[in-house]
Every structure is written in structure tokens, then in C-alpha cells.
Structure 1
Amino acid sequence: MSTAAKEGALAHLKVLDLSRVLAGPWCTQILADLGADVVKVERPGAGDDTRHWGPPFLKDAQGHDTDQASYFTACNRNKRSITIDMAKPEGQALIRQMALSSDILVENFKVGGLAHYGLDYASLQAINPRLIYCSVTGFGQDGPYAERAGYDLMIQAMSGMMSITGKADEVPGGGPQRVGVALTDLFTGVYASTAILAALEVRNRTGEGQHIDMALLDVGMAILANQAAGFLNTGNVPKRQGNSHPSLAPYQDFPTLDGAMLLAIGNDGQFRRFCNAVGKPEWADDERFAGMAARVTHRAVLIPAMEAVTRTRTTAQWVALLEDKAVPCGPINDIGQAFGDAQVKARGLVVNQPVAPAVIAQTAIESIATVASPLRLMATPPVLQRAPPALGEHTDEVLAGLGLDAAQVVALRQAGVV
């Protein structure tokens, strides 16, 4: 990610972020990393819920826990934070004023929730026809569940994702499991940013904005991918099978002399090279294992035979043996080991951003570490403009940009509007 003065790809865009927690903020962080000016509106005194979702908490300069949860930092880099009480008419007026000059608005309130404040799509489109207004909800703007609240864990369960994640029922420890991160929230954020960029292209042609309806359930069903395709075209309901793959073999974890490794053999050439490397060339010629479909069918015979071999070397020895033979093989890292990996370091995937002096004085937090954007645009790379903001850190700055003077800002603060 670039820290230079070069503008990001979306530096010409203004984004009004009324979203909280993860899916919406993930979307707006993608836009912010690409250079958009994202102003995050938060509740006075409380802010985004994730500011309080800890432990773990950020640490101060002495290494002690603060009251700032690290969760918030995952999805709010490069944004400006302003506090506004939208329940107050004066707060609603400020948000409408901001919407007038915004290109994009992202919100994740319940269906119809912002209509009470005159901040729904119809109300804001009337004053800014160019506005691209993205609504993120659990179940979408219509349908029998539209008014329900939706959370990632619920969607992982309802979509069937948990039914295909985890060990098989007959294996000790078997049962449905959630994915280790809020997968549908994250994918919804990515899909939402894609939809917004598409809507911008339409606006470039027509001059008109539009309403985008993003639903976690829709995304949860979409990312079932090949598992959904298999069911829809055969009627067979996929089952959990741990780390093995329903259509590929061998494609799973294997025990080693000192732990475990991952083999991801995706074609017959890779399988033959593996067999030759381990001194078992006859496996590649065995009709039970000669093709992918055959290996899947006879995995109950193949996998135990392979496990007997993989137990004879350490994980590092296996990686060294197979690395130059184009056989996908690697360690199963914990997150600490992953961030210590040479390739992760070479790609610069950890960024440390200093916080503003006023924030240091308030929190004793000197810098915040986040994971770099994976979007590598060579001419207009993602930018690092701001650390994840303190609550209301940019309130005065944003209000000044709206034309309010210092006395007006003081009056709004005394009235509890900001």
C-alpha cells in the first residue's frame, strides 16, 4: 500500500458511511483504501458497536490494554469519524447536507429504519439524483424475512454453510461448525463494493444514481459455489467431510512426523509427480487412482496408504521435497506463523499507522496495525491516509467542511447533536 502523496483510484469520490459492525464497514474500507474520502457517522458517546467488542483490546505505549477493541480497526482504516445523533432533527439535517455532496451512501439499518429520519433512498435521491445508495441487510428489502435482523452466524446456519463445514457426523468431534471469520459479512462487503463500482459506471453514462439492495442471505447462498451447483444439478445434498474435498483427491491435510501438512493435488500430473517423489510410482498407474474421479471414488483406500508415507517425514521436509516438483504442499499455520511467513513479509501485508497526536494524548495508543489491502493496482495503488479513527476524531473538520463555524459547532455539541 502506498503512503505517497499519489492519489488513489477513487480519490474523486465522497462516501457517506452510515454502516456499523462489519459488512458495511468492510465495503467502505475497500473504497477508502482505493482513495475515496469516507466519512463514518457514529453515535455520540458510543460509536460503532465493534469499538467495544473485546477482548482483544488495543495496547497503549506501555503494552497495557486500553478500552479500545481491536475489532473496529479491522474494517475502518482510512476513514474520518464524525459523531451525529440522527434521532435529533438537527442531526438529520446535517446528514442530508452531507448526502447532497456525496457520491455514495452505505447503510445497514433495518428495512425502513432510515425512513423515520428522512434519510431513506427516496428522500435522499430527491435532493441528490446522482447518489448511489447501498443498503446492506440480513435478508434484503423484500420477502417474508425482510424485517428480521440478520447476523453472520445466523446466515452461515441458514444458508447451509455450517452443514458443509466441520468433521463428518460419524467422526469424533463431528458436527456443524461456523467458519472462523464472519465469512458472509466479509463477502457481502466485497460484493457491495463491486456493485457500487458498477453503479458508478452506469452513472457515468446516465448521470443517475441508484439503490443497491445487498442481503447477507443472498451472498451466503451465492458463495456456496460448487457445493450449490452440485446440489442444484444432481439433487444430492452435500455433507460435511472435514478438510477433504468432495470432488478432488488427495486434497486435504495429512499427518507428518511432527504435526500436519496440507496437500492440494488438483490434477493427474501433480499426483504422478507426488507418487514418483515418494517412491510409489505404481500408485499413479493403479486404475483405482489413475484419474481424479477414480481417486475420489477410492479415497478410502488411497488416503490411509498416503498417510502411512506422510508420517515418515516432518512438515518442513515434505515442503522441501515437493516444492520444486510443482506439487502444492504447505504447512497448516496458526495466525502468528502466517504473519511470520517469508512471503507474507515480502508482500508487505502488515501495515502500521501512527495515530494523531491528539488521539495519543487521549488514549496513549501510538500506532495501529492492520492487514494491507490485497488490491494491487500498479498505477494507482491503495493508499494509507489515516489510521482507524478515534470516535468523533474528525467531527470539527467535517463540520467545517460543511460551512459551519466554530460557534455553530460548539452549539451543536452542547445540544448533544454531535
Structure 2
Amino acid sequence: MSESPRTARPLAGIRVVDLSKILAGPYVGMTLADLGADVIKVEHPDGGDPTRQWGPPFQGEDATYYLATNRNKRSVTVDLKSEAGRDTVDRLLREADVVVENFRPGSSLQRLYDYRDLSERHPHLIVLHISAFGDHGPMRDEPGYDMVAQAAAGLMSLTGEPDGPPVKAGYAMGDLGAALFGAIGVLSALVERARTGLGQYLTTSLYETQLALHINWATGYFATGQTPHRLGSGHPNLVPYQAFPAADGYVVIAVGNDSLWTRLCGVLDRAALADDPRFRTNADRVTNRDDLVALIEDALAARTVAEWCAVLQEAGVPAAPIRDLHEVYTSPHTEALGIVSTVEHPTAGPIRQVGFPVNYHGRRPEVRTAPPLLGQHTDDVWEELHARSGE
């Protein structure tokens, strides 16, 4: 696509005060920053965001965990509980559009920064509050990290092999789910504020967003009353749709319709299976899952993953090897997409970052600045505030 004169910064001119820490809130802040917002990360002077120390590995002074979710932001240090700190934050909020916070429900910080008080002074503010379990209900005040939410909200009951222990998802799906839905909430609230001039209070939680991501698992349960269980890499509603062992590793095969099933039977040299009454339709295949999986595993055993991927893809059957991250980030396809950027960090030197995954007229939002050092921009931000207020 030809280049557009527009830059990929649709949120330029929006200011965000990020009072959050760990993962969900900071990921929201980074998403808004990637899209061009001026995001000011407010941290406690004594250590700042705890993820700065969530290592090894470290690059420079900070853990790579922190570096993953805080680029394109500015860091200032403030004690949110002190009177001077509250006054400083209030001055920031006068010119802010959005606040992101994940204060524990009922905590002193949530009381100090209660939305009703904030909205009286700053009715334009959009405040996003992220918690573990939501603002209502018997679990409201319980503390929670990502894996606690994965357990409590059912994800771990669906992840892992049928005869093995429950397993958490490889990614922090509790935190990241809350972050993505939270960002959607902020963006929609900005659209509404453009019409009304008024901000609003948004709440989401790791628990609620995990329920939203249950999708077909939940609707299947609602329809049947049957509690779903772990299927390993298998799919509850499609067969064959999972990882299968080949001669030297595992190959993923994804058959999403009966036409693909017929093609797969031909590639496997098992054409008779396509007309077998046990497997003729997807519903038949789901019902007779175990028998079919055993037959496919037997057919795949003699050839390598690369050999199977080549013939399956040639036949138009979706298939892939299971790549590790080294293979992913040295892949020509990843390189061609241009999603990995290098940015200069004040103490770590050049660091690599995975960029924003949406392009705007062929342009990807750029990684403009490295994740900041603790308090790196305190003086700059305070000088800006003084200049605007005429002090």
C-alpha cells in the first residue's frame, strides 16, 4: 500500500496519567502511548513499578518484564499518599484526558482517588479502574494476580492434557484480557466524550474479561449443562483440530469444514475415512474424537513435521509446525511484517520491542521512546506544569 501523509498516531493530543503497576494497567497505558497519546507513568519514588525488579533477565537497570509494557511513556515519581503528592497529581489531572489505575478495591489509594471526588473537580476525566475480581460481589476485595484469575475464572480448568494437572496459559491472559478490554473501553469513552464533553468511570477486571473470552466454551455449557474439561491442544467443537505427533515432533492440523476433511484424508492416503459414517461430518468426528485421533496419529507417524507441513499446505489444509520464540523472531515472515523495532535505552543501549499489531494506511505506530528510567521525566513534566500555569 502506498504511504499516507498521515502518521500512525491517532491519539496524538490525548494525555494519559498512568497510576497503575504490574501488567494489565501498564499494558493499557502502553497501548494508548503506541497510538500517540502522551502517557505519564506515575511511580512511587521508592522502587517504582514492582516489575522493574521482576527478573532476571535484566537489561540496564530494569527487568525485561518492565521493559515489555512501558515504552513510549514518561516516568515521574510521586508519593500518591502524601499531601504534596496528591496536589501534584491533581495538577496533572487538570490537563489529562484519561487516568488508568488498578488500586485494590477498598484500599486507601482507591479512597484517596475516588472517582466521585475526581469528577467534581475534573468532569472531563475518563477513569479506567482495573481490579482482579470486579467492583461488586463476594470476591470483590480479594487480592489477585494473573494466575489467580486464570484459576478462579475457569481458564486453568480448560488448559492442559485431559489426564494431566491444570496448566496456566503461556501468556498472562487474565492481565492481557483486562488490558485489551480496558483499552477498548477508554477509546469508546473518548468517542462519547467528543459528543458530550463529559468523562466517565470505567471498570473492568481480570475475572470479568476471562468470562468474556470463554466464548464457545460458555455457550456450550449454557446449552447443555455439561461442564467442559481439558482437551490438550484439541478443540471442543472441531475435529481434527489439534497438534499431532509426527516422526520428529508435532504438527498442528486445523480442519474447519468437511471439504478440508476430505482433502486431509487424501493427503494422508486414507481416502476411505472421508466416507466412514463415524467421521463423515464434523459432528460425527467430534462424537468419535478418540477413534479418529488415533487413526490420524498412526497415519502421521512415518514422516517428519516439515514433510507433512509441505504436503498439507500444498493441498490447502491449514497446518504448521510448533515454533519456539527463537524460530518466530528469526523467521523471514516476522521480519517482513516489520513488527520488531530497536530503540535506544538510557542504560541498556539498544533494546528490541514488539510493536503495535495494527497498521494505519500501511504504517505501524512507531516505538518512539524506550521504557523510561524511574523518575526520568519528573523535572521535565513539572516544568511543563509550571509553564502552563504561569508560575
How would you bin the TM-score normalised by the shorter chain?
A: over 0.9
Matches of 1:376 and 1:180, distance apart in 2: 26
Q: State the match for 1:9 in structure 2.
A: 10
How far apart are residue 5 of structure 1 and its match? 9.3
Q: State the match for 2:56 in structure 1.
A: 55
Q: Is the 8 A contact 1:166 1:242 kept in 2?
A: yes
Provide closer, same or farther for how the CA distance between residues 179 and 296 of structure 1 changes in structure 2, counting only shifts above 3 A: same
Instruction: Specify which of 289, 313, 333 is matched with residue 299 of structure 1.
Output: 289
Question: What SS class does the counterpart of residue 370 from structure 2 fall into?
Answer: coil
2:187 matched to 1:197? yes
How far apart are residue 278 of structure 1 and its match? 2.3
Deviations 1:26-50 (A, max 9, x none): 1111111110110000111301010
2:370 matched to 1:376? no
Q: State the match for 1:335 in structure 2.
A: 325
How far apart are residue 232 of structure 1 and its match? 1.4
2:141 matched to 1:147? yes
Matches of 1:260 and 1:397, distance apart in 2: 53
How far apart are residue 274 of structure 1 and its match? 1.2
Q: CA RMSD, aligned part only?
A: 1.9
How far apart are residue 217 of structure 1 and its match? 1.0
Q: State the match for 1:85 in structure 2.
A: 79
Q: Is the 8 A contact 2:355 2:367 kept in 1?
A: no
Matches of 1:327 and 1:197, distance apart in 2: 38
Matches of 2:357 and 2:10, distance apart in 1: 15
1:248 maps to a residue whose letter is L
Q: Is the 8 A contact 2:21 2:49 kept in 1?
A: yes
Matches of 2:254 and 2:16, distance apart in 1: 41
Q: State the match for 2:255 in structure 1.
A: 265
Matches of 2:246 and 2:132, distance apart in 1: 42
Question: What SS class does the counterpart of residue 136 from structure 1 fall into?
Answer: strand
Instruction: Specify which of 216, 219, 232 is matched with residue 242 of structure 1.
Output: 232
Deviations 1:221-243 (A, max 9, x none): 11111111111121100011211
Deviations 1:63-101 (A, max 9, x none): xxx442100011111111111111221111010000010
Matches of 1:117 and 1:148, distance apart in 2: 17
Q: State the match for 1:411 in structure 2.
A: none
2:303 matched to 1:313? yes
TM-score norm. by structure 1 comes to: 0.88
Q: State the match for 2:30 in structure 1.
A: 29
Q: Is the 8 A contact 1:86 1:117 kept in 2?
A: no
Instruction: Specify which of 369, 379, 383 is matched with residue 400 of structure 1.
Output: 383
2:259 matched to 1:276? no
Question: What SS class does the counterpart of residue 402 from structure 1 fall into?
Answer: helix
2:49 maps to a residue whose letter is D
Q: State the match for 2:91 in structure 1.
A: 97
Matches of 1:7 and 1:220, distance apart in 2: 30
Q: Is the 8 A contact 1:82 1:392 kept in 2?
A: yes
Matches of 1:233 and 1:399, distance apart in 2: 57
TM-score norm. by structure 2 comes to: 0.94
Matches of 2:387 and 2:141, distance apart in 1: 37
Matches of 2:320 and 2:71, distance apart in 1: 31
How far apart are residue 383 of structure 1 and its match? 2.7
Q: State the match for 2:119 in structure 1.
A: 125
Identity %: 39
Q: Is the 8 A contact 1:92 1:117 kept in 2?
A: no
How far apart are residue 303 of structure 1 and its match? 1.3
Task: Could you tell me which runs of 5 or more consecutive residues in structure 1 were left unpaired when the two chains were aligned.
Answer: 59-65, 409-418
How far apart are residue 116 of structure 1 and its match? 6.8
2:154 maps to a residue whose letter is G
Q: State the match for 1:63 in structure 2.
A: none
Q: State the match for 2:370 in structure 1.
A: 387
How far apart are residue 184 of structure 1 and its match? 1.0
Q: State the match for 1:413 in structure 2.
A: none
Task: Could you tell me which runs of 5 or more consecutive residues in structure 2 were left unpaired when the two chains were aligned.
Answer: none
Q: Is the 8 A contact 1:9 1:380 kept in 2?
A: no
Q: State the match for 2:211 in structure 1.
A: 221
Matches of 2:387 and 2:80, distance apart in 1: 18
Matches of 2:44 and 2:189, distance apart in 1: 29
Using the TM superposition, name which of 294-303 and 179-188 deviates more. Answer: 294-303
Question: What SS class does the counterpart of residue 190 from structure 1 fall into?
Answer: helix
2:168 maps to a residue whose letter is R
How far apart are residue 384 of structure 1 and its match? 2.1
1:76 maps to a residue whose letter is N
Q: State the match for 1:138 in structure 2.
A: 132
How far apart are residue 118 of structure 1 and its match? 3.8
1:176 maps to a residue whose letter is P
Residue pairs, 1:360-375, within 5 angstroms:
363=347, 365-375=348-358
Q: Is the 8 A contact 2:355 2:366 kept in 1?
A: no
Q: Is the 8 A contact 2:8 2:360 kept in 1?
A: no
Matches of 2:363 and 2:122, distance apart in 1: 29
Aligned residues: 386
1:45 maps to a residue whose letter is D
